[in-house]
Every structure is written in structure tokens, then in C-alpha cells.
């Protein structure tokens, strides 16, 4: 059987939602009966559990009928590979559409690279790829939230955050919050840095609030994982989060509204202390929003997309 090979030649300790999504799609395709692999010479990342099959040989050998799934990050070895003649078909799966603008290969050349199909995670990204890069018929393969990992635990009044993409903004929000609302100085902040996926899920599950700090996203997994964990989310949607961010399921702001985010944190704490009905409705709306991003929905999209390519 022809193989579907996701190209992920990154350092095994690199932590990104895109790498995790790549492995999750390979797992689901294998469950569906496809011959799916991830090419990562350093081996599978240690920060999440995976059942995906991994190609670790430095040089990838392909056969006629194989499908190579390229990320949008076409630099280094990926830039070489995408311009190499293969017997395999080439697919572009873009998980961060803005990154197409900053590669050695100019964005206007993407359509010349011979991709059989193009896919992304959201209507936000699909619109960009079609309007700006002028691809046609871009497919959407949605992410899913692993309900076996991300679910509510016994709650503690605390604020969880992943500041990796916006560390200065995170620090500024925390400082503004401390200055304006000293009465909440005892509330802990749980900063997540280099934790495993399972450890992150535990923290989200115990946290009443998650500060959302995505940036230039095509979708944005973290806010949805927080919603699925029963936390109330406030912060930024990161652009791609507009796919699901609504006034009823969180407090969402542009990325320069730092004081407003700090104010929303105080509003949530005050409301939760008195069991504000509106905040409880917001938490439930967040749970319902995350539940729509199910494994079954992703599995169906993968089956349709790759089933049409393997004939």
C-alpha cells in the first residue's frame, strides 16, 4: 500500500501544536487503515505520547504512489525536498499560514511546487491561502481536542498560562493585574513551560482560569484545550481563534489590550467567588465549543481527503 508520510524533520524537543497535530493525524490515518508515517530523524518527541509510526532514517526513500505531506515551513531540508523530483505525490498541509511568507522559497512560487492538494485547519487559514497564495479548492482538516486528556478536574482558583509566544505581553498583563488588583495577590499563576501534554492537561483541568496568549495562529489549540478542561478563558484569539472565539464562550481581546485583559481576569475572579450565573454559562459554552472539535470529525475529514489521493 502507498504510504502517507508527514515530513517533520524538527528537533525532537521542539514544542509546537503543529508537531503534535501532525502525529495525531498520522495516528488517525493508521486507525483508518492507511499506511501513515511521520518522518522525524531524531525520533518522536518526548513531550506527548504517540502511537504513530516514525521514520528515523536520515535519508527518506519514497516509492511511486507515496504521499509526502509538507508543512508550510519550507526551509532547510524541507526547501530542498520540496524542490526535488520524487515518485511520490506532494501535499501541503498548512498549520500556520503566515509562515509561508518568510521562507527561502517565495510565497508566490508555492503554486509552482507541484502540490497535488492543499489542506489547512480552519476557514481562517483557507481564506488566506486562497486569497493571498491563490491556491484553489483548499481543504479543511479540523483539529480535535482529546477528551481523554483535556477534561475538568477538581478546581483551584488559579490562572494558568503558556507564555512561550508572547512572554512580554504575559509579563505585562501579570504586572498590570498586580498593580490594579492587589486584593488578588494570593491567587497563584501557573506558568506552563516545557511541560508534557499530559502535565499541561492536568494543570488546565485544575485551573479555574486560563490566560490565552496565541499569536498569528491558523487555528489555535490551546484556548480550546482550556475550554475542554472547564476553565474560563480570557486573552487573545491569535487571529485563527476567530474560528471558535465568541462573546459567550470567553473574554477575547486584540493583542494590544493588555489592561483590558487584566480587568477581565479580575472580573472572572470576582464572579467565580460569588458563583455568577453568567460566568457559569460561559464555562458551559466553552465546554460545548470544545466538544464540537471531536476526533470523529477529524477522522472523517482525513478519510475523505487522503482516500481521494490514494487510488
The β-bridge relationship of strands 139-140 and 115-120 is parallel
User: Is 311 a residue whose pLDDT tops 80?
Assistant: no
**pLDDT tens profile 246-273:** 999 999 999 999 999 999 999 999 999 9
d(CA 41, CA 125): 29
d(CA 37, CA 63): 14
Residue pointed to by grid coordinates 486562497: 130
pLDDT at residue 197, as a whole number: 97
∠ CA 134-122-284, rounded to 5°: 160
Contacts of 226 (CB under 8 A, 6+ apart): 160, 204, 207, 210, 212, 233, 286
Please name the helix (run of DSSP H) or strand (run of DSSP E) that holds residue 7, with its range, or none: strand 3-7
Q: Specify the 3-state DSSP secondary structure of 199.
A: helix
pLDDT at residue 80, as a whole number: 93
pLDDT exceeding 90 applies to what percent of the chain? 94
Grid cell, residue 67, equals: 504521499
**If you average pLDDT over residues 46-51, what whole number do you get?**
96
**pLDDT tens profile 108-164:** 999 999 999 999 999 999 999 999 999 999 999 999 999 999 999 999 999 999 999
The β-bridge relationship of strands 232-236 and 251-253 is parallel
Please name the helix (run of DSSP H) or strand (run of DSSP E) that holds residue 300, with its range, or none: helix 295-309
Contact 125, 219 (CB under 8 A): yes
By CB atoms closer than 10 A (0-12, 13-18, 19+), residue 198 is exposed
CA dist list (Å): 141 to 92, 93, 144, 218, 270: 12, 9, 10, 12, 39
**If you average pLDDT over residues 229-239, what whole number do you get?**
97
Strand order through the sheet with 207-212: 189-191, 156-161, 207-212, 232-236, 251-253
Comparing C-alpha atoms, which of 235, 239, 248 is closest to residue 96? 239
**pLDDT tens profile 100-120:** 999 999 999 999 999 999 999
Which residues is 67 bridged to in the sheet? 4, 89
User: Is 94 a residue whose pLDDT tops 90?
Assistant: yes
Residue pointed to by grid coordinates 464555562: 283
pLDDT at residue 176, as a whole number: 98
pLDDT at residue 1, as a whole number: 78
Question: DSSP class of residue 107?
Answer: G
Contact 134, 102 (CB under 8 A): no
Q: Using 50, 70 and 90 to split pLDDT, how confident is the model at 86?
A: confident
**If you average pLDDT over residues 210-218, what whole number do you get?**
95
User: Is 87 a residue whose pLDDT tops 90?
Assistant: no
Mean pLDDT for the chain?
Answer: 96
**If you average pLDDT over residues 58-68, what whole number do you get?**
92
Strand order through the sheet with 139-140: 53-55, 35-39, 3-7, 67-70, 89-94, 115-120, 139-140
Q: Using 50, 70 and 90 to split pLDDT, how confident is the model at 85?
A: confident
Number of Cβ within 10 Å of residue 181's Cβ equals 16
Grid cell, residue 267, equals: 472580573
d(CA 276, CA 158): 17
Contact 75, 9 (CB under 8 A): no
Comparing C-alpha atoms, which of 155, 257, 168 is closest to residue 210? 155
d(CA 145, CA 21): 10
Ordered structural domains, the chain, with CATH: 3-144+294-309 (3.40.50.2000), 156-291 (3.40.50.2000)
User: Is 45 a residue whose pLDDT tops 80?
Assistant: yes
pLDDT at residue 184, as a whole number: 98
d(CA 245, CA 237): 7
The β-bridge relationship of strands 156-161 and 115-120 is unpaired
**If you average pLDDT over residues 169-197, what whole number do you get?**
97
**pLDDT tens profile 269-292:** 999 999 999 999 999 999 999 999
**If you average pLDDT over residues 4-17, what whole number do you get?**
96
Amino acid at each position: 500500500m502507498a504510504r502517507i508520510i508527514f515530513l517533520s524533520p524538527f528537533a525532537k524537543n521542539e514544542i509546537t501544536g503543529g508537531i503534535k497535530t501532525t502525529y495525531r493525524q498520522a495516528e488517525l490515518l493508521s486507525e483508518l487503515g492507511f499506511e501513515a508515517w511521520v518522518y522525524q530523524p531524531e525520533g518522536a518527541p518526548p513531550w506527548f505520547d504517540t502511537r504513530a509510526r516514525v521514520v528515523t532514517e536520515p535519508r527518506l526513500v519514497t516509492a511511486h504512489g507515496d504521499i509526502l505531506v509538507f508543512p508550510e515551513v519550507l526551509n532547510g531540508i524541507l526547501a530542498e525536498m520540496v524542490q526535488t523530483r520524487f515518485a511520490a505525490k506532494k501535499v501541503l498541509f498548512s498549520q500556520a499560514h503566515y509562515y509561508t511568507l518568510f521562507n527561502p522559497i517565495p510565497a508566490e512560487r508555492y503554486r509552482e511546487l507541484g502540490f497535488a492538494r492543499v489542506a489547512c485547519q480552519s476557514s481562517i487559514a483557507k481564506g488566506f491561502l486562497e486569497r493571498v497564495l491563490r491556491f484553489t479548492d483548499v481543504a479543511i482538516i479540523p483539529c480535535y481536542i482529546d477528551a481523554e486528556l483535556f477534561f475538568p478536574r477538581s478546581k483551584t482558583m488559579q490562572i494558568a498560562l503558556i507564555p512561550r509566544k508572547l512572554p512580554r505581553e504575559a509579563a505585562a498583563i501579570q504586572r498590570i493585574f498586580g498593580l490594579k488588583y492587589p486584593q488578588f495577590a494570593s491567587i497563584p499563576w501557573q506558568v506552563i513551560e516545557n511541560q508534557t501534554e499530559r502535565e499541561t492537561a492536568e494543570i488546565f483541568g485544575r485551573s479555574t482560569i486560563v490566560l490565552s496568549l496565541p499569536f498569528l495562529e491558523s487555528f489555535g489549540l490551546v484556548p480550546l484545550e482550556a475550554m475542554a478542561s472547564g476553565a474560563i478563558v480570557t486573552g487573545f484569539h491569535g487571529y485563527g481563534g476567530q474560528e471558535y472565539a465568541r462573546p459567550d464562550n470567553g473574554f477575547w481581546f486584540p493583542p494590544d489590550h493588555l489592561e483590558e485583559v487584566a480587568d477581565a481576569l479580575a472580573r472572572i475572579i470576582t464572579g467565580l467567588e460569588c458563583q455568577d450565573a453568567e460566568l457559569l454559562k460561559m464555562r458551559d459554552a466553552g465546554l460545548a465549543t470544545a466538544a464540537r472539535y471531536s476526533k470523529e470529525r477529524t477522522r472523517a475529514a482525513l478519510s475523505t481527503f487522503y482516500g481521494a489521493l490514494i487510488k
